[in-house]
A and B are shown apart, each in its own frame.
Chain A
Amino acid sequence: EVQLLESGGALVQPGGSLRLPCEASGFTFSSYAMSWVRQAPGKGLEWVAVISDSGGSTYTADSVRGRFTISRDNSKNTVYLQMKTLRAEDSAVYFCAKSDIIGPGITWHFDVWGRGTLVTVSS
């Protein structure tokens, strides 16, 4: 069974940092691009970042560029979201999502989502 399991969510103070791992299983992780998508409480979906299958290409949303970094370790079947200089508006459930298309490229939709991990930024 294809599964994604996010972890690392926590209550953090404004200006703080956090790293979210997402561990994948049930598929050839190194063959698929991966993304992070967030959802603030009661709000819609916001795409955050994507990384290619090899890790050679990444792209982040304007709202987090310079503060968030996406990376992956294909030997550990894990994708990460490193978050720095956190703001109250970064409070959200963070989902990792698997691209539906195998191979290179980063502009793909998502066929599998994790259950999400909650990040709360507050003093």
Chain B
Amino acid sequence: IVLTQSPDFQSVTPKEQVTITCRASQPIGNRLHWYQQKADQSPKLLIRYASQSISGVPSRFSGSGSGTDFTLTINTLEAEDAATYYCHQTSSLPLTFGGGTKVEI
């Protein structure tokens, strides 16, 4: 299953809203998860099963979607949100990741 993220890159200012989309090449139900990777760090789980929040992750991060189209939204962006964001499907093997969206503040 190929995951296509858009945009590849987004430059934003603090307090803006950011929307990242991820499209799957075939239906995957809600088996779509989001990670944040800051420079020189390992990825961190942000959202699981398309819209489930993760303990300890700020509430400004939210996810939506099902089937083939998914969205990660960051409300009221903060400087610390500068990172690359990846979607990831676990509907079928091989597990796959999207190409990533780099968010620059």
Contact = CB atoms under 8 A, between A and B. Distances in A.
Interface of A: 35, 37, 44-47, 50, 59, 61-62, 95, 100, 106-111, 113-116
B91 A95 contact: no
A106 B93 contact: yes
Interface of B: 31, 33, 35, 37, 42-45, 48, 54, 84, 86, 88, 90-100
Given A45-B88, A109-B33, 13 more contacts: A35-B95, A37-B97, A44-B84, A45-B35, A45-B100, A62-B94, A106-B93, A107-B91, A107-B92, A107-B93, A109-B88, A111-B54, A113-B43
Most buried by B among A100, A109, A113, A115: A109
Main secondary structure of the interface of A (DSSP, over half): strand
B22 to A, nearest CB: 13
Nearest to B48: A109
